Structure 1
Amino acid sequence: MNKFWNFVKNEEGKRQLFFSGVIAEESWYDDDITPNIFKEELFSDTGDIEIWLNSPGGDCIAASRIYAMLMDYKGDITIKIDGIAASAASVIAMAGTSVQMAPTALMMIHNPFTVAIGDSEEMKKTIDMLSEVKESIINAYEIKTGLNRNDISRLMDAETWMNSNKAIEMGFADLVMEDGKRKNIASNFVFSRRGVSNSLLQKMKVRNADRTNIETLKKRLNLLRR
């Protein structure tokens, strides 16, 4: 089975979960294959989990079950969106204790869709079904963002794309992922500036001290002349 997730442990022994690609490329409806295996792997260990998420979306039922399992997990869950969390993947992101996005990452929410065939009655049933699916998705967004349901519905109608700043502003994310390298460079730069300033001050003190010594020598020479 080709899984769209992968559990690993980093050098510090911290659990990491990587979601990459379309959600439920294999069937998520067969409980003996996809959902149960994911659940077993998720609950096979304890402790906080760091989830790296990069997915264009996929099956909304699969996303719903993953969301529910993550919400039921006892440890803290940090979601890190390094590429895109679109459609069903954005629902998974809502399960994070903390949702972080790379400065270049994107999140997209929209209405659920499906393919239907049949007469007008079947079409009406499909419309009703999609309306209920939409309401279930809004539940997850509402819990995370605190936004009004009507506002969330309009955002979904419009197929809303959000960069990291917009997602944070609207409550879909919490933080922009820190750039450790840039932070270190900035710290070194501040340290260097302080070092230069201290060096200049020290030189000025030495020069002032030299001037004081010269004045003292002049006074002594004048005394000798007398």
Structure 2
Amino acid sequence: AIHNMIKEFKGNVTTVCDSFACSIASVIFMAGKERVMHKGSLLMIHHAWTWASGNAKELRKQADDLDKITEPSIVIYEKNSNLSRDEIVELMDNETWITAEEALEMGFATSIKEDDDAQQSINEMYLNHQVMLNKDLEKELNEVKEALKLEKAKNEEPLTGWNAFFNTKK
């Protein structure tokens, strides 16, 4: 759902892997039009897995379900890399850890960010790493702030009569 929400966003989205994007986080990372990995970061891809119990019939169903659950990830990796389906499946079979350089070579990443340009503050780093930062969201945030100010002002009417005596609002 997160991957699809990011993909459907109308703006240009840059996803950033600044540490590890493992398992489903690697699928979410694929949602960015630009996919930036820090030099020391890693992706890890694998097939869906679960714990199972039951009889042979139930276990066969569980295996079939896992194949079906894995399929969307394969499709997403295939669309966002220069690898064949067979190459992706082999990487997933091996629960592969992928360096930033390998990710760039395979097409999972679109660029590598050198980590020597340190951030000045955690706040600045947070802002720079937002997945969907754009002007439309800023405008929407300002509208929400204005609505909250109006609501607060409306709720700050002075107390009168018995309401003032009991310190409650109308």
Q: What TM-score do you get using the length of structure 2 for normalisation?
A: 0.66
State the 4+ residue runs in structure 1 displaced beyond 2 angstroms: 178-182
How far does the alpha carbon of each residue in 1:123-167 deviate from its partner, in whole angstroms, 9 at most, with x for none? 000000111112111011011013211110001001111111011
State how 1:54-133 maps to structure 2 within 5 Å.
65-133=1-69
Describe the superposition over 1:167-200 as per-residue Cα deviations: whole angstroms up to 9, x where unpaired: 1011111111145749xxxxxxxxxxxxxxxxxx
Cα distance, 1:79–1:114 mapped onto 2, change above 3 Å: same
Distance 1:88 1:181, change over 3 A: closer
Contact 2:17 2:36 in 1 (8 A): yes
Q: Structure 2 counterpart of 1:139, which letter? A: V
Separation in 2 of the partners of 1:156 and 1:166? Answer: 15
- SS at 1:118 equivalent: coil
- Structure showing greater radius of gyration is 1
Give the aligned partner of residue 95 of structure 2. 159
The alignment partner of 1:80 has SS state of: strand
Equivalent residue, structure 1, for 2:167: none
Match of 1:24 in 2: none
| Letter in structure 1 aligned against 2:105 | E
Unaligned runs of 5+ residues in structure 1 are 1-64, 183-226
- Pair 1:147-2:83 in alignment: yes
1:178 and 1:79 map into 2 onto residues whose CA distance is 16
Work out the CA distance in 2 between the residues paired with 1:104 and 1:146: 22
Structure 2: how far apart are the matches of 1:146 and 1:130? Answer: 25
How far apart are the structure 1 equivalents of 2:52 and 2:91? 24
Select the structure with the greater relative contact order (CA < 8 A; seq sep ≥ 6): 2
Structure 2 segments unaligned to the other structure (5+ residues): 119-170
Q: Which residue is equivalent to 2:125?
A: none
Q: Deviations over 1:195-224 (max 9, x none)?
A: xxxxxxxxxxxxxxxxxxxxxxxxxxxxxx
Amino acid at match of 1:140: I
Q: Is the 8 A contact 1:80 1:177 kept in 2?
A: no
Paired letter, 2:12: D
2: CA distance, partners of 1:161 / 1:169: 14
Q: Deviations over 1:93-151 (max 9, x none)?
A: 01001011111111110111011221100000000011111211101101101321111
Q: Within 2, Cα distance between the matches of 1:181 and 1:93?
A: 22
Report the count of equivalent residues: 118
Q: What amino acid is aligned across from residue 71 of structure 2 in structure 1?
A: E
Partner SS for 1:145: coil
